[in-house]
Copies of this chain bind each other. A is one copy, B any other.
Amino acid sequence: MVGQRFVSLLQHHPWFEIKWLAASERSAGKTYREACTWRLRDPMPKTVWDLPVYECKPGGAPQLLFSSLDSKVAGHVEQEFAQAGHVVVSNSSNFRMEQDVPLLIPDVNPDHLALIREQQKLRNWKGTIVTNPNCTTVGLVMSLAPLANNFGLDKVIMTSMQAVSGAGYPGTPTLDILGNVIPYIGGEEEKVERETRKLLGKLVDGHVKMGDFVVSAHCNRVMVEDGHTETISVSLKNKATIADILQAWHDYRSLPQERDLPSAPKHPIIVREERDRPQPKFDLNAENGMATVVGRLRECPVLQFKYVAFSHNTIRGAAGAALLNAELMKSEGYLD
C-alpha cells in the first residue's frame, strides 16, 4: 500500500520523477502493471504501467531512493544502497532508532537531519539512510510538538484506533476484523513509545537527547480503510490553559511551511470545533492527507488535558512523510 502511495504522490511531483522501481525477486523482471495488485481508488498512473521492476540491488538505480520494504529485508538492502552512495529515504522501521540515523518529521525536528554527517563518518558510507516514523507516531507527535515547544511535555497516554491499510496488502483478513476490534498490533506500542521521545528530543553535540517525558501507547485495529484516530491524555511541565493549547496548535508553522515544500501542508495542524470530530470519514484528506486534525480538547481528570487526533496513515504516516523528508533534504542541499 505504501509503495502504491509513493507512485501516486510522485505522479505529478514538481521536483522528483519515478525512474526506477525495485521489488522482491518474485516481481523482478515484470512490468509494474504485471507485478502490482493496485488497490488505490484512483487508477494506476499510465506512466508507470510499463516500467520494469528490478531486483533490490544497486546498479542502475538513481541517487534518491524511496524505500517501503518489509522490515525483514529492509535492514540489509537499505544498507547496501547507502554504502553504494544512494540517498535512501526509508519508511521501514529498521534504522529509526539508530543513534546516527535521522528519524524525521520535517515539521517537527528538521535539525535532526544533521545526523547524516555523523552517520556517513561512522559507517564510512557515501550515501545515507534517513527515516520517517511509524504511521501511528506521526499524528501523536504532530499534535504534541506545539505543546512540547511551548509548555514542555511531562506524560502522554495514547490509545489508537488504526486503519487496516496500515497492515499492508493483503493484510488484515476480513474474517478477523468484520464487526470486530483487535486490541493488539505487533511491535506498534513499543515503536510509538520510543520514536516519540526521539522525535521530540533535542540535538545536542551531534546526538539526539531523548525527550524528557514518558509515553504509553495502547494500539488497536478497527474496521477503517485509511486513517488512524487517537485519543490522547497529556500533562505538561509548565502552566497552560485550553486557550493556550488551541492557540499553539493554530499558530504552528515550521520549516516545510516557511520553505513552501511541495508536499508541506499549509496548516500542519487543523483544529475542528465540532464536538464529534476528527473522524476518518470526513478528515482523511485534509491538506491532501498531510495535516494532523485535532479536536475535543478538554480537561483530563487524571493528566491535565485530553483530545482526539487523526492522521492519514499511508500518506502523512508513510509515503507522504518520506516524500517530505526528501524535499527537506533537497532544500537543505543534500541532493544535487
Q: Annotate A208-246 by CB proximity to B: 1 below 8 A, 0 otherwise.
A: 000000111010101111000101010000000000000
Q: Is the CB of A225 within 8 A of B179?
A: yes
Would A157 and B233 be within 8 Å (CB), given that A175-B171, A179-B280 are in contact?
Answer: yes
Q: Closest CB-CB distance, A186 to chain B, in whole Å?
A: 8
Q: Is the CB of A173 within 8 A of B170?
A: yes
Enumerate chain B residues within 8 angstroms of A184, measured Cβ to Cβ: 275-276, 296
Q: Closest CB-CB distance, A247 to chain B, in whole Å?
A: 22
Enumerate chain B residues within 8 angstroms of A279, measured Cβ to Cβ: 180-183
A41 at the interface (CB under 8 A from B): yes
A300 at the interface (CB under 8 A from B): yes
**Copies of chain A in the complex:** 4
Enumerate chain B residues within 8 angstroms of A277, measured Cβ to Cβ: 183
List A267-314 residues whose CB lies under 8 Å from chain B: 275-282, 284-285, 295-296, 300-303, 306, 308
State which of A60-68, A87-95, A115-123, A158-166 sits at the interface with chain B. A158-166
The 8 Å CB contact of A170, one of B159, B170, B193, B285, is B170
Q: Is the CB of A169 within 8 A of B173?
A: yes
A318 at the interface (CB under 8 A from B): no
Q: Is the CB of B231 within 8 A of A178?
A: no
Q: How far is the CA of A278 from the CA of B182 in the complex (A)?
A: 8
A156 at the interface (CB under 8 A from B): yes
Enumerate chain B residues within 8 angstroms of A177, measured Cβ to Cβ: 174
The 8 Å CB contact of A181, one of B1, B182, B229, is B229
